[in-house]
Amino acid sequence: MPLTPEQLAEIEEARSEPRQTLRATAPGMEAHLYTAHPVLDHGLVRVIDYMGDDAAITQAARVSYGRGTRAVSNDEGLIRYLMRHWHSTPFEMCEVKFHVKLPVFVARQWIRHRTANVNEYSARYSILDREFYIPAPDQLAAQSTVNNQGRGAVLEGEEAARVLDLLREDAMRSYDHYESMLSQDGQQGLARELARMNLPANIYTQWYWKIDLHNLFHFLRLRADAHAQYEIRVYAETMCRIVKDWVPLAYAAFEDYRLDAVQLSGKAAQVLRRRLAGEVVTQDSSGMSKGEWREFEAVWG
């Protein structure tokens, strides 16, 4: 269970005290506030705060476009127009702050997105909890044979059992040794900032992560993608569901113009034009490399 009774009590308390505000509120997001969405075996995502809603996006766009914007008659149309034409600044006018609990190896991928504000639990200052990510059996996958950076078939039988045993035992032993090195019982006790180096990358950490909607969409496009590693994708998918409730119009535009979008290179667009004109195009006559042609065919047949 990802949250302690104390944390659950805190959440309940925070959720029981509505306050008055003159700010824009998003009802769909109020319903999510503080509530922990479980992810993986011990992880979670929960919304700590947010700023703005769909109307905040169009309000900012109308500052830019002045009276001229009245031409686009409604918020949905305007939001779709902004998304389609890569006018990103109005989406930056919304902001969200998440509390996330996640394995360290996921955190290391995640942090590469630089346009966010982060406060992470400090293992230099405090002692980490004994919580480790152990994959569920259906996620215990073999190395892909076609993609260096991917998974193949699910491991089975004895191999699967052996891997799970190793992961569990190494995690427990490392943590036991972490504690015994830290201990001040009959010894000085190693500094926390040193002892932590013994802990494996599947230990859980946590952070507050704050980001604007434009940069969050960029993160989600990359991390909710089928090529993203499963362990970060489930966080992105959880956030997608939350964002859909927060800014439904912006999320629908994001889905159509980003998540479901297809990017065609100049060469690929040319091939499609020829096909539409009835021509049969082969890799040879496409101007594309084998790798690119394979990727093109995977989408267009």
Rounded least distance, CB 43 to a copy of itself, Å? 13
Distances in Å between the alpha carbon of 190 and those of 128, 172, 181, 186, 197? 14, 19, 5, 12, 11
Residue from 1, 5, 6, 68 touching a copy of itself (CB under 8 A): that is 68
In this chain, which of 9, 136, 161, 272 binds a copy of itself, going by CB under 8 A?
272
Least distance in angstroms from the C-beta of 199 to a copy of itself: 6
Has 168 been annotated as catalytic? Answer: no
Count of residues that interact with a copy of itself, criterion CB under 8 A:
133
Going by their DSSP bridges, the two strands 37-39 and 117-120 should be labelled as: unpaired
Please say whether the beta carbons of 136 and 124 come within 8 A.
Answer: no
State the catalytic residue, choosing from 19, 70, 168, 223. Answer: 223
Please list every residue from 144 through 203 that binds a copy of itself, using CB under 8 A: 144, 148-153, 155, 159, 163, 166-167, 170-171, 173-174, 177, 180-182, 184, 187-194, 196-202
d(CA 271, CA 283): 10
Write out the binding residues for a copy of itself, residues 71-130 only, by CB under 8 A. Answer: 71, 77, 80-81, 84, 86, 89-90, 92-93, 95, 97, 99, 103-105, 108, 111-112, 114-115, 117-127
Question: In terms of Cα–Cα distance, which of 288, 257, 256 is closest to 272?
Answer: 288
* 282 belongs to the binding site for a copy of itself (CB under 8 A): no
Which residues pair with residue 209 across a beta bridge?
A: 98, 118
The CA distance from 38 to 100, in Å, is: 10
Q: Which of 3, 33, 55, 281 binds a copy of itself (CB under 8 A)?
A: 33
Query: Does 41 engage in binding with a copy of itself (CB under 8 A)?
Result: no
Q: Min. distance of Cβ 260 from a copy of itself in angstroms?
A: 3
151/206 Cα distance (integer angstroms): 26
- The residue among 124, 98, 134 whose CA lies nearest residue 113 is 98
CA-wise closest residue to 288 among 258, 266, 262 = 266
17 part of the interface to a copy of itself, by CB under 8 A: yes
Is 259 a binder of a copy of itself (CB under 8 A)?
Answer: yes
Q: Which residue positions form the known binding site?
A: 89, 109-114, 120-124, 196, 212-214, 218, 223
